[in-house]
Amino acid sequence: MFFIGCDNTDEQTKTCNPACEDYKTCSKEGKCVLQKDRCETNNDCKDNKVCDETNHKCVEKVCEKNQKRCSEDKKNLEICNNNKWKVSLYCSNNNKVCDEDTLKCKSLDPICTKGETKCNGKNLEICSEDKTKWEVKAKCSECKEATKECTISIPTFKNTKVAFGNNFKQSAEGAFTFPEDQENIKSIKAYIVDTCSNKNCDEWDRYANLYVKDKETNDWYEIGRFITPYWVGTEKLPKGFEIDVTDFKSLISGKTDLKIYTETWNNKGRTYFVNFEIVYGTPDYKYYSVAPVIQYNKSSIDGVPYGKPHDKVLVKSVELPKNTQKAHLRTIITGWGHAQPATESGPCAEWCNRKHHILINTKKAFEHYLGPLGCANNPINNQAPGNWMPNRAGWCPGMVVPNRIDELDSSLFNAPFKYKYKFQEWKDDGTNKEGAFYAISTFVIAKSNEKIEKPVVK
């Protein structure tokens, strides 16, 4: 009598009862064992192969058990069963398609308007290109439904000390990661917290600024300037010093190098936390580009000498990109020194009220008045015994230095124009050998709803 699967070549072979499956053979001991190159489970296979449960052979792995995918034509949802893709849902039967993001059948009927946004909890969502679903645009710390604006917070420098001596440096640098979709960013603000517990910091009003590095040129661009308070920090300001840095959103993108500097001359120095708040919403223009026109701002006394000859270049040629739709100049300027002769408001350039001008194509186009800012009304009003209340010319101890924004006429968009910074006439008589200086930076910012190149400055 012959039993399927039993090897009868050996008289000692025992009969297997019940008979073996067709992929097994009956051993001498009367047990059913796997035939060569056959399998019962995945554990019987090698070289990352899997067991085909139909023919019990080891085959190349096609998919993981219960894995899902959309069919190539997006009409069906498929599931992995026995290492084969099989239809799980026929989406097309109900006027639907398979969504590769959710692996579910979604309606072909529009549910929103392309580009439409809404808040969903703390997230800002945007209508998909095919108008059939909502996609997360940004994960926010706050999302305002009324304005469809979403705020995200990016911490950068944390408990970072800058000082002079004892192996400290006057500046600190760091690399940080920011969102890359500048076309959706409405605004970017930097908040600088200057900590000084128990007055254990540099007690003087020091020149300080924040920089971002241009990834193409490796040049540092001044994005904000502030003067430290006497004796204290920014404890009276809820978020610290606030500086609008939206003009530099083309640079504050992806991996970004930042630098913070303070012109401190003792080892107590200043300790900073710097946080950026980015608001997603509808920007005035999707794309910005920026280029430096002049930068003489490494420190207060590295500025432009005032009232005497110097070698600083204050005349430049500027050419805006062809697709510029809006453009402006952004200038930061502060005066330093106690040079004579003094004016009615005091010696120059810290105390003397001045009217300086930007000339465009040799004509006065913009006036910069460096006068009182109301130092006595500073919210940081605990700076005693520092001399914080008297007005300086265009800055105050414990305040952000103003950004002077000058809109450029559209007639300048089509050809290069000549820029010149002209200081109000005044002559240093030399009695104070330290002299007078203006630390100044001017940038040109171009905007467009199309991707835009950098302005060219020569």
List, by residue number, the catalytic residues.
205, 263, 350
Task: Report CA torsion sign: 223, 228, 234, 236.
Answer: negative
Distance from C-alpha of 316 to C-alpha of 458, rounded to nearest angstrom: 6
Neighbours of 181 (CB within 10 A): 11
Task: Report CA torsion sign: 274, 280, 282, 285.
Answer: positive
The tokens 């009232």 sit on which residue?
307
Asked whether the beta carbons of 213 and 219 are under 8 A apart, the reply is: yes
Distance from C-alpha of 403 to C-alpha of 398, rounded to nearest angstrom: 16
Distance from C-alpha of 379 to C-alpha of 388, rounded to nearest angstrom: 11
Distance from C-alpha of 344 to C-alpha of 342, rounded to nearest angstrom: 7
Asked whether the beta carbons of 455 and 446 are under 8 A apart, the reply is: yes
Asked whether the beta carbons of 171 and 162 are under 8 A apart, the reply is: yes
DSSP classification of residue 168: B
Concatenating the DSSP letter of every residue in 31-78 gives: -EEEPTTB-SSGGG--TTEEEETTTTEEEE----TT-EEE-TTSSEEE
Distance from C-alpha of 362 to C-alpha of 356, rounded to nearest angstrom: 14
Q: What are phi and psi of 54, to 5 degrees?
A: -80, -50
Q: What are phi and psi of 357, to 5 degrees?
A: -135, 150
Contacts of 152 by beta carbon, 8 Å cutoff, 6+ apart: 138, 139, 140, 141, 179, 277, 278, 280
Distance from C-alpha of 224 to C-alpha of 215, rounded to nearest angstrom: 18
Distance from C-alpha of 320 to C-alpha of 419, rounded to nearest angstrom: 12
Concatenating the DSSP letter of every residue in 189-246 gives: EEEEEEE-GGG-S--S--EEEEEEE-TTT--EEEEEEEEPPSS--STTSSS-EEEE-G
Neighbours of 104 (CB within 10 A): 15
